[in-house]
Amino acid sequence: MKIHTTKDRRVRIGLRQRKRISGTAERPRLRVFRSDSHIYAQVIDDLTGTTLVSAASTEPALKEQLGGPARPGNTAGAQVLGRTIAERLREKGITRVVFDRGGFLYHGRVKAVAEAAREAGLEF
Full residue range of the structural domain in which residue 108 is found:
6-119
Mean pLDDT, 10 residues at a time, the chain of 124 residues: 89 91 92 95 95 95 86 93 96 96 95 97 94
Provide CB contacts within 8 A for 41, sequence distance 6+.
30, 31, 32, 33, 54, 55, 56, 81, 82, 85, 113
Rounding to the nearest 10 degrees, give the CA dihedral for residues 83, 87, 89, 94. Answer: 100
Domain assignment of residue 1, yes or no: no
The predicted pLDDT at position 70 comes to 86
Domain assignment of residue 54, yes or no: yes
Amino acid at 4: H
Residue 113 per-residue DSSP state: H
87-109: pLDDT as tens digits: 999 999 999 999 999 999 999 99
Task: Tell me the whole-structure pTM to 2 decimals.
Answer: 0.90
CATH number at residue 60: 3.30.420.100
Residue in 84, 86, 81, 105 with CA at minimum distance from that of residue 96: 86
